[in-house]
Amino acid sequence: MMKLKSKVTLPAVGLSGFETPMLDEETGVQDVVHRFAREVMRPLGAQLDKLTAEEVIAPGSPYWNLFAEYAKLGLDPAMLLDLPPDVAVRIESQMGEELGWGDAGLAVSLVVAAFPMQMAAVVGNQELVDLCTGRIGCWMITHPDKGSDVTMVDVTRELPAGQQGNKGNMWGRVQGDEIVINGQCSAWVSNGAVAQVALGYISAEYEDGFFAPDGNPYGMSVIIPLDLPGVSKGKPLDKLGQRALPQGEIYFDNVRVPKRFAVALKDEYYGNMTSAWSYAGTHMAQVFTGVARAGFEMALQYCHERKQGGRKLIDHQGTRYRLGDMLRRVEVCRSVARRSLAFARQSPLSHPYVTAAGKVTVTQEAMKVVDDAFQLFGGAGTSREYPIEKLYRDARVALIEDGENTILTMRLGVLAQQLYAEGWSQN
């Protein structure tokens, strides 16, 4: 039924754009996280951006205040379990967007920090929940020689017949009641330089070797305390963008972990890995929706301040077109991010290639928004005096972070091929 208005009014709009009416619980959480993003994350991110990678993680660095300040908000992820699924998705999406609006690097750090504990809770291992509580976590899933390879879960379709998959640079072996871990994980482990506990996805050797009959390497998912003997870390990476996010290698030399710390072994490994990836991939989309919104808002404000040709930039037709296009793209980001999140959380059969596609779309649209904002700033945008310069660097990193976008898009094509073979789109 058509809804009529008696007079022309501006549309309903909130922090997150053109929203339908929200519950009090939604607006309450959104307001709390937005205030944290504005008052804590933005100034902290700007401060850390000017430090070296070593200074960011040094004792006494303001980085360490992030987790204590966030804990004060009292936002337990378990609260979402008591809400209707559609409301839970919207709140989770709003939280991620506000964190990304505050600072992309710090947002990723906060999300990843809780990942090991969340996995422990999902599998119902209270010992591991207690182990992870109060500790900064990381997610180890790629290795120096096994980066994008980890996204290849169907080697029979993607590799020549008879070719085995890549077992990578890090592996574990079950020995009685222990798992012995050796090797090196990638330098790009988010929180790797500061983490106290890791959720590791690694190749594994069992009684029949490293490889299954189909050529896929066996694996294991295991929660690893990083204060065990044999664990060491490399230097944190000095990066172009998201400099507030500490990333670096972690090395393992005969590190012994109780077998009961494993959350998935052998036949359960790939199911666990793809489920975790489906879950994690959605967060990038939420965070960079916030980055896109931040870029649009910075440009909108600047265009109301800067004059060109005797008129404010906002009064030029070309500027209005650009801003309209940017706002449209922000709305695209939010729509894709929420649909991807809803699929991952509510579908009985989620898949990481679907959520990865959401990450690709949002990060590319966010980059376009931030690039246009950067252009509107003109020469001023290249100066570190304005935050758009940092935002540009942060957004650019996301096109590679958490899976390079070309590779992830190719994986979506593989999924289309697989679904077609099962009869999809042949009606």
Q: How confident is the model at residue 15 (pLDDT cuts 50, 70, 90)?
A: very high
Q: The tokens 């010992």 sit on which residue?
A: 127
Q: What pLDDT shows up at residue 253?
A: 98
Instruction: Say whether pLDDT at 42 is over 80.
Output: yes
- β partners of residue 250: 185, 233
Band (pLDDT 50/70/90 cuts) for residue 149 is confident
Report domain 272-421's class.
Answer: mainly alpha
In this structure, what are the phi and psi dihedrals at residue 15, rounded to the nearest 5 degrees?
-55, -45
Task: Report which residue type is found at 154.
Answer: D
Residues in the chain: 427
Q: What is the DSSP letter of 38?
A: I
Check: CB of residue 350 under 8 Å from CB of residue 343. Answer: yes
For strands 262-265 and 219-225, give the pairing.
Answer: antiparallel
Q: What angle do helix axes 104-113 and 85-102 make, rounded to 10 degrees?
A: 130
pLDDT higher for 160 or 393? 393
Q: List, in order, residues 6 or more apart from 19 with CB less than 8 Å away.
A: 12, 13
Question: What is the phi/psi pair of residue 343, to 5°?
Answer: -65, -45
For residue 262, give Cα distances in angstroms to 110, 134, 189, 195, 259: 23, 20, 20, 18, 6
List the CATH code of the domain at 24-122. Answer: 1.10.540
Per the confidence metrics, is the pTM higher than 0.85?
A: yes
Report the pLDDT value the prediction gives residue 1, as an integer from 0 to 100: 87
pLDDT of residue 306: 96
Other CB atoms within 10 A of residue 359 CB: 29
Domain spans in the chain, listed from the N-terminal domain onward: 24-122, 136-266, 272-421
Q: Are 174 and 208 in contact (CB under 8 A)?
A: no
The pLDDT value recorded for residue 147 is 78
How deeply is 161 buried, as exposed, middle or buried, from its count of CB atoms within 10 A (0-12, 13-18, 19+)?
exposed
pLDDT at 142: 86
Segment 375-397 mean pLDDT: 97
Mean pLDDT for 119-140 is: 96
Contact predicate 247/190, CB 8 Å: yes
User: Average pLDDT, whole number, for the chain?
Assistant: 94
Per-residue pLDDT at 156: 72
The arithmetic mean of pLDDT across residues 50-58, rounded, is 98
**How high is the pLDDT of residue 160?**
77
CATH of 136-266 among 2.40.110.10, 2.30.110.10, 1.10.357.10, 2.60.40.10 = 2.40.110.10
pLDDT tier for residue 424 given thresholds of 50, 70 and 90: very high
pLDDT band at 346 (very low <50, low <70, confident <90, very high): very high
pLDDT score of 407: 93
Q: Residue 327 is which amino acid?
A: L
pLDDT at 164: 87
Of 41-45, 63-67, 79-83, 323-327, which range is least confident? 79-83
Average pLDDT over residues 32-38: 98
- Predicted confidence at residue 167, as pLDDT, reads 86
- Return the pLDDT at 57: 98
Percentage of the chain beyond pLDDT 70 is 100
Structure token pair of residue 361: 């779309």
Residue 358 confidence (pLDDT) = 96
How confident is the model over 387-408, as a mean pLDDT? Answer: 96
- Determine if residue 242 is left, alpha or beta; phi over 0 gives left, psi from -120 to 50 gives alpha, anything else beta: left
Share of the chain above pLDDT 90, in %: 87
- Long-range contacts for 146-151 (Cβ within 8 Å, ≥24 apart)? 147/186, 147/188, 148/403, 148/404, 148/407, 150/201, 151/352, 151/356, 151/403, 151/407, 151/408, 151/411
**Terminal C-alpha separation, the chain:** 32
98, 30 Cβ separation under 8 angstroms: yes
Report, as an integer, the average pLDDT of 278-300. 95
- Name the DSSP letter for residue 146: B
Q: What is the DSSP letter of 217?
A: B
> Which of 146 and 254 is assigned the larger pLDDT?
254
Q: What is the C-alpha to C-alpha distance for residues 204 and 221, in angstroms, rounded to an integer?
A: 9
Residues 6+ apart with CB under 8 A from 170: 140, 143, 181, 182, 183, 184, 185, 200, 202, 203, 252
